[in-house]
Amino acid sequence: MNFELSDEQALLRDSVARFVSQHYSLEQRRKVLLLEPGYSPEHWRAMAELGWLAVPFAVEDGGLGGSPLDIMVIMEQFGAGLVLEPFLASILLGGAALRHGAHAAMKREWLPQVIDGSKQLAFAHGEPQARFDLQHVATHARCEGDDFVLEGTKSFVLNAASAAAFVVSARTRGGVAERDGVTLFLMERARPGVTLRSYPTVDGGRAADLTLQSVRVPRTSVIGAVHEGTSIVTAVVNDAILALAAEAVGAMHALYRDTVQYTQQRSQFGHPLADFQVLQHRMVDMFSEYQLARSLLYRATMEAAQAALDSNGGTQLDSALKAQLEGALKAQRAVHALKYLVGRAGMFIAESAVQLHGGMGMTEDLRVGHYLKRMLVIDLLFGNAEHHLQQFAGQPSQSGLAG
Amino acid sequence: MDIELSPADLQFQQEVRAFLTEHAYQPGMDEGQWRRRWFAAAAAKGGWDVPRWPRDFGGPGWTAAQHHLWDLETAAHTLPSDSPFGVTMLAPILMAYATPEQQQRFLPAIRARTVQWCQGYSEPGAGSDLAALKTRAVLSAAGTHYVVNGTKLWTSAAHLADWMFCLTRTSEGARRQQGITFLLIPMRQPGIEIKPIITLGGRHHVNMVHLTDVKVPIENRIGKEGEGWTYAKGLLQHERVGIANIARSAVALAELKRAARQLPCGSGCLLDDPSYRLRLAAVEVDLMALEFTELRSLAAISAGLPVGPESSILKLKGTEIQQRIQKLALEAAGLRGAEWGAMGVTTDAAREAFESYLIGRASTIFGGASEVQRDVIWKNVVRLPQ
């Protein structure tokens, strides 16, 4: 058991932090926000050259074989800098689906270009009626000869307009809310029948709603096994939640530091605001929530990394398989716990930061409001705090530390 | 960063389990005898009787993982009763500030649990504002002893204690924190009068202690005259880490969950109640997070690094979690627990939930009330650049 970053991780952290401090001042970010893709293509190329886009992919696929901990290190700095580039959409969602399920030829065709940044992906899974239920998929795909034909709608697809292809989930059998019967496809954006309604998002990103009308894709575009897409979706979303939580923790740290500094500089009633106990205690509560979120981020990320290591062991022993299953359940519980805590802590800290900045907190001229808008989206992506608390409470307790 | 327990850690865990099983209390045993044997056996394991003591003073020198496993395993077992005042609170002060002679004189009996201690801190006019204390200690003309006069309040276990470690005022400094002297006072002597105070749970834990012309030999002073506040501050920090009680809360939560699953509630059980289940889950999440907060601090200590700012929230959050669990247990007990009567009439679990809840209100008051904790965290951590 060890809480120190490795030397490589510390270098990675410093390198991302340097990038953020050089390119993500409020002024610089404002310019990026005005660019049409919603991010800077120049930054994206730089991130590819620095090797960050390769981190989660396997070495044999041209990646660096990084763990969830390496992603945590990157995302925390991105969170502090309110970075806009589509690392989550292309690498951690679309790219991860290929990593988990793509057949060899698909990996060969797509991953090198995803890793060098020349092509981007998007993850078209969520649907308006599903709300936070990951296995609720109404979009369907019927088999016609060697092809599948997709019909349906997908909502809030991050980075859709910049993506060369989408990872799309569609039902190939069963009822709309069944876990079984969902299949993932890699669908190029240019396919006939794909319509995008693109829009900016509240936090400065870009997303789109997709309409699929008789979109024909070949059987070779199936990711993973037919009917068994939900397990890939779950794995991708769990890792994405860890990454979002790291981003949120980076933002929480910046929010509480900015608030402490601001209240020490701003005077009212003849004193710096920070002299008032009622504000001091609010900031201590912001600090406590931030520390709890960071601790749980470490816990959930380390449990996920451990579960991933265990499942790669290739063991046949019953006892080891049982331990693996327990580890996986423990990791899943920790993800639910984390998303709940991050939503709660993130919103409390961001709202408190705006409150303590007073009128200035309501303007676009300070960072705090931008963090609040990002935190709103982080909370809602892949299920908000309340949803994940219900998931956490609803599962039978494992032999966990607190369970 | 990794969470994996090493083979050595896992072996250690097995060893702890075996020890706890071998030395578990068996019905019919004499409790005092069991307690003495238990601590002697723990000492023979190489400092297991004083897990948090440094290796130089006979502690085991465990890693963070080992401390964590020990807490985890011991929380699930019934251990012999043990007072925190000597082993946890006074001993670190003696190690840091007492003379070798004083260490020789007091530490072995603290470790052997043969001498009971109490803490003479709070006074009628000095609660959260401890520096307002007024108990006077006047050095005799010959310089051989102090004469102590004053009143200590909320003194836990004073009626059971052989000794008190006590903060006294020897002079009025420019700052109230100056002129405070740390004395060790034998409790069984003329001039010491102990009055019980019955608290909300209906039990006798705390007392008022009057000291009238109590003679304290100068060799019972720890450190320098007038420097006691510095020593006490270090002591308070030890008290704060101890009070978080994370492993204990985890056991209480698991028991509560089991009970809520068995407790009929309409046509189902209490755990089927969505509101109750969600509140229970929210406490569990916070406990999972606090558990790792403590581990982050323990890991730093084991690696010889300074403890991070995260340790400052342990007492504040640990006691809040304890109270939330106690309140959920109270809710589970329902009106059955409200049946009150003479002490010791029943050991009914519902009634115990009420007692624990009432006694537990004190945890956010003693050792620095939560409001004072927030002042201290602001002053020592949050306002500083990081």
User: Distance (Å, rounded) from C-alpha A348 to C-alpha A371?
Assistant: 12
pLDDT band with cut points at 50, 70 and 90 for residue B14: very high
The confidence score (pLDDT) of residue A389 equals 97
Beta carbons of A291 and B293 less than 8 angstroms apart:
yes
pLDDT of residue A259: 98
Look at residues B82, B97, B126 and tell me which one is the last residue of a structural domain.
Answer: B82
Comparing CB atoms, the residue among B253, B286, B382 nearest residue A283 is: B382
Instruction: Select from B3, B286, B313 the Cβ nearest to the Cβ of A1.
Output: B3
Q: Which residues of A touch B290 (CB under 8 A)?
A: 292, 295
Both B48 and B121 in one domain: the answer is no
The partner residues of B193 in beta bridges, in order of sequence, read: B210
Domain boundary among B60, B82, B104: B82
Find the closest chain A residue to B317 by CA distance. A288
Topology (CATH) of A7-119: Butyryl-Coa Dehydrogenase, subunit A; domain 1 (1.10.540)
Segment B169-177 long-range contacts (CB within 8 Å, at least 24 positions apart):
B169/B133, B169/B134, B169/B135, B169/B136, B169/B137, B170/B136, B170/B137, B170/B138, B170/B139, B170/B146, B170/B225, B170/B226, B171/B226, B173/B226, B176/B131, B176/B132, B177/B131, B177/B229
pLDDT at position A62 over 70 = yes
- Which of B292, B315, B328 to mutate against chain A (most A CBs within 10 Å)? B292
Selected for mutation to probe chain A from B63, B382, B383, B384 (highest A CB count within 10 Å) is B382
Q: Which of the given ranges, A299-313, A320-334, B99-113, B323-337, has the highest pLDDT on average?
A: B99-113
For residue B237, tell me if it sits in a domain.
no
Report yes or no on B234 lying in a domain: no
CATH fold of A122-223 reads Butyryl-CoA Dehydrogenase, subunit A; domain 2 (2.40.110)
Q: The domain containing residue B150 runs over which residues?
A: 116-227
Are A284 and B382 within 8 A, CB to CB?
A: yes
Residue A403 pLDDT grade (very low, low, confident, very high; cuts 50, 70, 90): very low
Please, which residues 144-163 of chain B have a Cβ atom closer than 8 Å to chain A? none
pLDDT (tens digit per residue) in B164-184 = 999 999 999 889 999 999 999
Does a structural domain hold residue B290? yes
Which residues in chain B have their CB less than 8 angstroms from residue A71's CB? none
In this structure, what token pair is assigned to residue A210?
Answer: 């997709």
Give contacts of B 43-102 with A, CB under 8 A.
63-65, 68, 72
pLDDT of residue B76: 85
E-state strands within A271-392:
271-272
Question: A287–B382: do the CB atoms touch at under 8 Å?
Answer: yes
Residues B251 and B376 placed together within one structural domain of the fold: yes
pLDDT at A402: 36
CA dist B259 to A153, A321, B337, Å? 46, 31, 14
Interchain contact, A260 vs B3, CB within 8 Å? no
Separation in Å, CA of B283 to nearest CA in chain A:
10
**Selection from B286, B333, B331 nearest residue B313 by Cα:** B286
Average pLDDT on B299-315 reads 81
Tell which of B82, B108, B138 closes a domain: B82
Distance of CA A183 to the CA centre of its chain: 21
Query: Quick one: B330 and B273 in the same domain?
Result: yes
Q: Where are the domains of chain A?
A: 7-119, 122-223, 229-394
Nearest CA to CA, how far is A281 from chain B (Å)? 6
| B304 pLDDT higher than 90 | no
* pLDDT attached to residue A43: 98
B-chain residues within 8 Å CB-CB of A293? 289
What pTM was estimated for this model as a whole?
A: 0.93
Q: Do A298 and B292 touch (CB under 8 A)?
A: yes
DSSP sequence for B210-239 = EEEEEEEEGGGEESSTTBHHHHHHHHHHHH
- From A172, A159, A162, select the one nearest A124 (Cα to Cα): A159
ipTM, two decimals: 0.94
> How far is the CA of B203 from the CAs of A188, A235, B335, B344, B358, in angstroms?
73, 53, 21, 10, 10
- Residue from A137, A135, A126 nearest A230 by CA: A135
CB A287 within 8 A of CB B313: yes
Taking residues B15-21, report their average pLDDT. Answer: 96
The C-alpha atoms of residue A362 and residue A364 are separated, in whole angstroms, by 7
**Residues A278-292, mean pLDDT to the nearest whole number:** 98
Asked if B317 and B373 sit in the same domain, the reply is: yes
Rounded (5°) CA angle A295-A300-A302: 95
pLDDT for position B298? 81
* pLDDT given at position A399: 32
User: What's residue B303's pLDDT?
Assistant: 78
Number of domains in chain B: 3
Site of tokens 């929480």: A252
Q: Using CA atoms, how far apart are residues A55 and A117, in angstroms rounded to an integer? A: 13
- For the cut 60, the answer to whether the pLDDT of residue A217 exceeds it is yes
Cβ–Cβ gap A389/B303 under 8 Å: no
Residue B88 placed within a domain: no
Per-residue pLDDT band at B265 (split at 50, 70, 90) = confident
Candidates B249, B246, B251; CA nearest to B77 is: B251
**Percentage above 90 pLDDT, chain B:** 69
Query: B252 in contact with A at a CB cutoff of 8 Å?
Result: no
β-pair partners for A122 = A166
CA distance A160 to A157: 6
Class level of CATH domain A229-394: mainly alpha
In degrees, rounded to 5, the angle at the alpha carbon of residue B71 between the alpha carbons of residues B66 and B72 is 95
Asked if residue B286 and residue B171 are part of one domain, the reply reads: no
Mean pLDDT for the stretch of residues A73-85: 98
Q: Are residues B206 and B262 in the same domain?
A: no
Question: What value does the mean pLDDT of chain B take?
Answer: 91
Structure tokens at A163: 């993506």
Tally of CB atoms within 10 A around B22: 8
Alpha-carbon dihedral A41, A42, A47, A48, rounded to 10 degrees: 80
Alpha-carbon gap: A128 to the closest alpha carbon of chain B (Å): 26
The CA distance from A13 to A253, in Å, is 15
Over residues A102-145, the pLDDT tens digits come to: 999 999 999 999 999 999 999 999 999 999 999 999 999 999 99
The DSSP letter of residue A256 is H
Rg (CA), chain B: 22
pLDDT, greater one: B30 or B174:
B30
Write out pLDDT tens, residues B184-202: 999 999 999 999 999 998 8
Which residue in A has a C-alpha nearest to residue B6's C-alpha?
Answer: A1
A323 pLDDT tier (thresholds 50, 70, 90): confident
Choose, out of A258, A265, A284, the residue to mutate when testing the contact with B (most B CBs < 10 Å): A284
pLDDT in tens, B51-97: 989 899 999 989 888 988 998 899 888 899 899 899 988 999 999 99
d(CA A282, CA B253): 28
* d(CA B29, nearest CA chain A) in Å: 31
Please list every residue in chain A whose beta carbon sits closer than 8 Å to the beta carbon of residue B66. none
Nearest CA in chain A to B315: A288
The contacts found for A392-399 with CB under 8 angstroms, 24 or more apart, are A392/A333, A392/A336, A392/A337, A392/A340, A392/B281, A392/B284, A392/B285, A393/B277, A393/B278, A393/B280, A393/B281, A394/B277, A395/A329, A395/A332, A395/A333, A395/A336, A397/B254, A397/B257, A398/A326, A398/A329, A398/A330, A398/A333, A399/A326
CATH code of the domain covering residue B303: 1.20.140.10
Those residues with Cβ within 8 angstroms of residue B93's Cβ, 6 or more apart along the chain or in another chain: B165, B182, B222, B231, B234, B235
Least confident of A357-361, B133-137, B269-273, B300-304: B300-304
Choose among B1, B68, B284: nearest Cβ to A302: B1
Q: Among B378, B380, B381, B386, which would you mutate to test the A interface (most chain A Cβ atoms within 10 Å of its Cβ)?
A: B378
Residue A282 has pLDDT above 70, yes or no: yes
Domain match, B267 and B355 both: yes
Would you call B15 an interface residue with chain A, using a CB distance cutoff of 8 Å? Answer: no
Q: Using the predicted structure, report yes or no on whether residue A153 has a pLDDT greater than 60.
A: yes
Answer whether residue B239 is part of any domain: no
Answer yes or no: do B1 and A277 touch at CB < 8 A.
Answer: no
Q: A44 vs B302, which has greater pLDDT?
A: A44
Which of A3, A7, A69, A261 best probes binding to B when mutated, by most B CB atoms within 10 angstroms? A3
Rounding to the nearest 10 degrees, give the CA dihedral for residues A389, A392, A396, A401. Answer: -120
pLDDT confidence band for B370 (50 / 70 / 90): very high
Nearest-Cα residue of chain B relative to residue A403: B254
Instruction: Give the per-residue pLDDT at B235.
Output: 59
Catalytic residues of B: 239
Closest Cα of chain A to B140: distance in Å? 43
User: CB of B289 within 8 Å of any CB in chain A?
Assistant: yes
Q: What pLDDT, on a 0 to 100 scale, did the predictor assign at position B383?
A: 95
Average pLDDT, integer, range B37-41: 95
Looking up residue B182, the CATH number of its domain turns out to be 2.40.110.10
Q: Which residues of B touch A340 (CB under 8 A)?
A: 282, 285
Q: How far is CA A306 from CA A336, B4, B329, in A?
A: 17, 7, 34
Q: Residues B71, B126: one domain?
A: no
pLDDT of residue B25: 93
How far is residue B385 CA from its own chain's centroid?
Answer: 31
What are the tokens at A66?
């990084």
Same domain, B216 and B282: no
DSSP assigned state of A350: H
- My answer on whether B200 and B264 are in the same domain is no
Count of pairs with CB atoms under 8 A, one residue in A, one in B: 142
Helix-helix angle A277-311:B274-302, to 10 degrees: 80
Same-domain status, B250 and B189:
no
**CB burial class (10 A; 0-12, 13-18, 19+) of residue B333?**
buried
8 Å CB contact of B278 and A298? no
Does B276 lie in the same domain as B218?
A: no
Pairing of strands B163-169, B117-120: parallel
Q: Which amino acid is at B22?
A: E
Taking contacts as CB-CB distances below 8 angstroms, the residues of chain B near A260 are: 382-383
Predicted local distance difference test score (pLDDT) of residue B385 = 81
In a domain, B203, yes or no: yes
Contacts of B3 in chain A (CB under 8 A): 1, 299, 302-303, 305-306
What is the band of A400 on the pLDDT scale with cuts at 50, 70, 90?
very low
From A259, which residue of chain B is nearest by alpha-carbon distance?
B383
Q: Does B141 touch chain A (CB under 8 A)?
A: no
* Residue A159, phi-psi category: left (phi > 0), alpha (psi -120 to 50), beta (remainder): left
Q: Measuring CA to CA, how many Å separate A268 from each of A277, A368, B151?
A: 14, 20, 43
